[in-house]
Structure 1
Amino acid sequence: MSKQSSSTFSTSSYSYSSSSSSSTSEGVTTGSRSAQHVYTDSEGNTTVKTANQNLGEPVIQDTRHFDSSGQERVGALGSSGATTSRRIEDVSDEDQARRDREYEERMEDE
């Protein structure tokens, strides 16, 4: 009688780091903070999420996906199944264009 056994061992890793700094010079305070989450799954695929913020400004977030060979996967599928895209969009231009149109319409109505 022979016995066969098989076992599979999967591992993943996760790391988190953060930093912050601030200084005051001539009554003006400046500062920034950043955080980074790195997750590597059992197949060697890595997701890197970063967040950076300067004092008084909005947070800038970035997510990047890399395959096991270290190549960035552009358009990689996120956990929700949606394709992620990397783009910076200035919504203030869209808002300003909308306000301009509304203003022009009001002026035409008068």
Structure 2
Amino acid sequence: MEYIGPAIIIGTIFFGIVSIIKTISEHFLRRKMIDNNNLDEQTVHALKLENNPYASLKWGMVAFFGGMGLILLEFIPYEYDSPLPFGIEAVMISLGFLVYYFFVQKKLERV
């Protein structure tokens, strides 16, 4: 249990470095393709240059359900070493993704 703190710190630093490198390399690739005018429909889709009007809704739903999971944990008694809080939080975050998915599917069916 004493090794979990350093492992989380190292994982966070690694994830941060990888995210920064990925973002920078994707930016340079997109800029180079736009400068060379190599944009067709397939390239635009591959580079994800299209706008997703529901992107902020997705993360809002995930954050909302994650917060609801934390509020729920405040009222449920559990032992210190119990995996129950992790399970409840994972289920609530997953529920947020599922609600978002079904909401967007219903919106796309209407269009």
TM over 0.5: no
Q: What TM-score do the two structures reach when normalised by structure 2?
A: 0.29
Q: Report the structure, 1 or 2, having the larger helix content.
A: 2
Higher share of residues assigned strand: 1
Larger radius of gyration between Structure 1 and Structure 2:
1
